[in-house]
């Protein structure tokens, strides 16, 4: 029995890669076929671990392990390198790294399921249109339902498990929506979002930009930016003047709330924005791609609230009590992936693809 340190895959990815939330079957009740069984010798339905008492069947963990191995293999292939599981990443060998990432993700989504039970959030008939929309969106992105199901099968999933992906995506969405409802059981305590935003340094900004697409035009662009700055300073209502100029020189997003370091703005421009008070606009800020004028707005707490919810979910996952089985503890990643690849090749040969 142990607590896991959680290394989160971005929670937005939950909508694309989430797992379903049902209790697992016992090993002697499970399937003895499929890619996962061939690769690991474990029934996909066998309980592989528990998260705060929730039984997690093997297919959920093996899905994430397969996904991680595939991502790593693709990165090595793209670099023209041979995957060597003994190489290190972040101080651990690749096999242990992928193994831990898969466990972290599995624990996260088991926590989603636990929260759904705790806060009485469930999928109802009224949610079916959203379910259909999520399924259709993922199928469309894959090139159609037939191709989507083929991709899921190549990752070791049956159709029922692929459909279950959409269910957990919707559970996560509904939990997030519940957290945004004032007075709900998941609503943040008063001042919690503001404190969270202050600790991390969130910014709410609007900006104008005169882009430099040709270095030969840089000086004329500088003069254009200076003209904009003069118009704002000369106005009796500078914020209104700034807003009017956004129609031509803005990004089309109005105010944006983001974390520094997210790559939303050039680094030097972002650093300058931190010195502004709410309602204050900047001077002309030069970057490689152009000239910027910033206006700092009051913090948009609604935009931060979703990130705060995610941070709470991640914290719960970090603190979850996880118990693993001997089948989990003895699973060797290189052997698993080698056998999985062979099983895939055999399935593709049988399908004539």
Class of domain 203-298: alpha beta
Lowest mean pLDDT among 31-35, 51-55, 162-166: 162-166
Angle between helices 58-78 and 94-118 (to 10 degrees): 140
User: What per-residue confidence (pLDDT) applies to 169?
Assistant: 82
Average pLDDT of 57-73? 96
What is residue 252's predicted lDDT score, i.e. its pLDDT?
A: 66
3-state secondary structure of 257: strand
pLDDT tens sequence across 241-267: 998 999 899 876 678 999 988 889 999
The mean per-residue pLDDT over the stretch 317-326 comes to 97
Enumerate the domain spans of the chain: 2-191+307-351, 203-298
Query: Residue 253's pLDDT is what?
Result: 67
Mean residue pLDDT across the chain: 89
Query: By the 8 A CB rule, do 332 and 340 touch?
Result: no
DSSP letter string over 336-349? HHHHHHHHHHHHHH
pLDDT value at residue 353: 59
pLDDT digit string, tens, across residues 273-300:
999 999 999 999 999 999 999 999 999 9
Q: Is the per-residue pLDDT at 336 higher than 50?
A: yes
3-class secondary structure, 14: helix
- Taking the C-alpha atoms of residue 307 and residue 140, their distance in angstroms, rounded to an integer, is 28
């Amino acid at each position: 029995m142990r607590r896991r340190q959680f290394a989160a895959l971005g929670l937005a990815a939950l909508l694309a890669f989430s797992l379903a939330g049902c209790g697992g079957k016992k090993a002697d009740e499970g399937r003895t076929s499929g890619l996962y069984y061939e690769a690991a010798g474990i029934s996909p339905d066998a309980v592989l671990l528990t998260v705060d008492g929730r039984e997690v069947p093997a297919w959920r963990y093996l899905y994430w392990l397969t996904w991680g191995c595939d991502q790593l293999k693709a990165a090595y292939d793209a670099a023209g390198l041979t995957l060597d599981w003994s190489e290190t990443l972040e101080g651990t060998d690749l096999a242990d790294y992928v193994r831990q990432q898969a466990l972290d993700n599995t624990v996260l989504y088991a926590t989603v399921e636990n929260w759904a039970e705790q806060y009485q959030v469930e999928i109802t008939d009224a949610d079916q249109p959203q379910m259909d929309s999520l399924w259709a969106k993922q199928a469309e992105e894959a090139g159609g339902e037939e191709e989507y199901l083929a991709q899921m099968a190549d990752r070791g999933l049956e159709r029922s498990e692929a459909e279950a992906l959409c269910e957990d995506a919707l559970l996560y969405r509904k939990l997030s929506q519940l957290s945004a409802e004032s007075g709900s059981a998941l609503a943040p305590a008063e001042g919690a979002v503001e404190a969270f935003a202050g600790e991390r340094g969130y910014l709410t900004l609007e900006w104008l930009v005169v882009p430099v697409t040709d270095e030969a035009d840089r000086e004329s662009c500088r003069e254009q930016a200076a003209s904009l700055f003069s118009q704002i300073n000369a106005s009796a209502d500078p914020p209104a003047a700034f807003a009017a100029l956004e129609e031509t020189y803005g990004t089309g997003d109005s105010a944006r709330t983001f974390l520094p370091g997210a790559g939303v703005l050039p680094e030097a421009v972002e650093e300058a924005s931190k010195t502004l008070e709410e309602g204050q606009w900047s001077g002309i800020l030069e970057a490689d791609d152009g000239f910027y004028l910033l206006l700092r707005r009051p913090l948009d707490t609604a935009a931060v609230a979703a990130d705060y919810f995610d941070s709470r979910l991640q914290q719960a996952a970090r603190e979850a009590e996880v118990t693993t089985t001997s089948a989990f503890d003895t699973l060797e990643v290189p052997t698993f992936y080698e056998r999985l690849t062979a099983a895939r090749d055999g399935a593709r040969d049988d399908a004539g693809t």
